[in-house]
Structure 1
């Protein structure tokens, strides 16, 4: 890997290569399950961190699979990594899992790549696909196992269909790819769950915010970032108003 590779190319390469590694690991361990997921997390995390430490030694790193060091907060550039987003789906042999590699600068998600290895795709902030128009009826993404009450309520008010899906990255990229229209999450996430998806979605021209309309901010001392909304910009004011109404009901 060239030391001259720019940040966007580096994020794309790391996400894609880690995804290929995870596919190879799963093919060699067809029994799957929790043990495979844990091994996938470990292997992909080590691969990405080793490359970042070699390529960007002066940058900070925040990874789901590493012990956090809040000294990163004094550094303006931090790589935010989820080496295997959707560990359960990966272990179950599904395709709705992802690899997230993002760079936040001064708290903003400026570079991101989300690999969807099961689909043979990597979406990145430097070359996002053209946005597709909303479908009719609208399609609202929800958790496969724990659909958020707010999302269900908003979907009902909009007459939207509920679309269960696995990882946060897979959901966010479904909006970018035109496979769904709204991703409203209130069930709790961390910075690594949504930094790379946020960077790609913003680059594609989508609305990305907290559910109160405020921006997502990264490299905070506490990386807990519990909620987000991703949708078409024109749809955002209506949804934000519905969320606020639901919260005060």
Structure 2
């Protein structure tokens, strides 16, 4: 088990490390973008993975584990090694969040890298190279977009801009629905949460079966911007568990979140 490292300086150092690695991986993925990369299908043909995903994953794994060999590793594109469960600190990585968009030539995809310590993210980076956008946060600093602080939208709005699937709207509590303007599908879940952090939208509902690697970096970025990602029980997520899948989740600015969670209770089980 790796040593406990509670120092804020450590998380800042880790943020610098994962930023460099995410940029390198993102630039490598970008070299495949809109160039008809080779695509395979996993999970019984339900999930695409491209040669760009694997190339980005290789860069991240080499750079990160060389620098922090005592950290655990959890990536969408690496076979899970349960040794991570014995590590206090773990890299949680999605080499390309939004692979379907990447394959389709759409720009909304990103490299997602988080450092998770004792179940919670302490440093996180999202790099969207096709958009030239970099989101960063550490446990003690501001959420940044391209080096500038960002915060959730705090104005009192009568209509909330919520990103959710069209079929999900009818499952919301009836009275709440009238005050919701649905934001159309955003291909990358991590990027969608970042859109809350920088104030472009007010919230989102995440269907069940998202994974640690989709969420960990974006979770911290949203937290440092004044929002939160919670389950329907109103509790924050715990990462690096044996089961890395999650149930229905809600993400929003803190003043908006309780009502969104209450209105979403009917989604439990969907």
TM-score normalised by L of structure 2: 0.81
2:235 counterpart of 1:228: no
> Is the 1:32–1:92 contact (alpha carbons within 8 Å) kept by the matching residues of 2?
no
Match of residue 64 from structure 1:
76
Aligned partner (choices 240, 243, 246) of residue 264 of structure 2: 243
Aligned partner (choices 143, 149, 162) of residue 168 of structure 2: 149
Following the alignment from structure 1 to structure 2, what is the Cα–Cα distance between the partners of residues 44 and 50? 10
Classify the secondary structure of the residue corresponding to 1:229: strand
> Is the 1:78–1:105 contact (alpha carbons within 8 Å) kept by the matching residues of 2?
yes
> Is the 2:107–2:131 contact (alpha carbons within 8 Å) kept by the matching residues of 1?
yes
Classify the secondary structure of the residue corresponding to 2:116: strand
Match of residue 102 from structure 2:
90
Classify the secondary structure of the residue corresponding to 2:102: helix
Summarize the Cα distance change of 1:182–1:152 in structure 2 as closer, same or farther, 3 Å threshold: farther
> Is the 2:171–2:266 contact (alpha carbons within 8 Å) kept by the matching residues of 1?
no
Match of residue 45 from structure 2:
none
Which 4+ stretches in 1 moved above 4 angstroms?
245-248
2:173 counterpart of 1:161: no
Deviations 1:216-243 (A, max 9, x none): 0001011112332110101111112212
Structure showing the higher helix proportion among its residues: 1
Aligned residues: 239
Indicate the RMSD between aligned Cα atoms, in angstroms.
2.4
Task: Please state how far the C-alpha of 1:154 moved relative to its aligned partner.
Answer: 5.5
Aligned partner (choices 114, 117, 120) of residue 102 of structure 1: 114
Following the alignment from structure 2 to structure 1, what is the Cα–Cα distance between the partners of residues 240 and 263? 29
Q: Where in structure 1 are there 5+ consecutive unaligned residues?
A: none
> Is the 2:195–2:201 contact (alpha carbons within 8 Å) kept by the matching residues of 1?
yes
Classify the secondary structure of the residue corresponding to 2:121: strand
Q: Where in structure 2 are there 5+ consecutive unaligned residues?
A: 1-11, 41-47, 144-148
Q: Mapping of 1:188-207 within 5 angstroms?
A: 188-207=209-228
Match of residue 12 from structure 1:
19
Match of residue 137 from structure 1:
159
Summarize the Cα distance change of 1:69–1:113 in structure 2 as closer, same or farther, 3 Å threshold: same
Following the alignment from structure 2 to structure 1, what is the Cα–Cα distance between the partners of residues 267 and 58? 42
Following the alignment from structure 2 to structure 1, what is the Cα–Cα distance between the partners of residues 120 and 252? 19
Decide which moves more: 201-210 or 55-64.
201-210
Summarize the Cα distance change of 1:247–1:80 in structure 2 as closer, same or farther, 3 Å threshold: closer
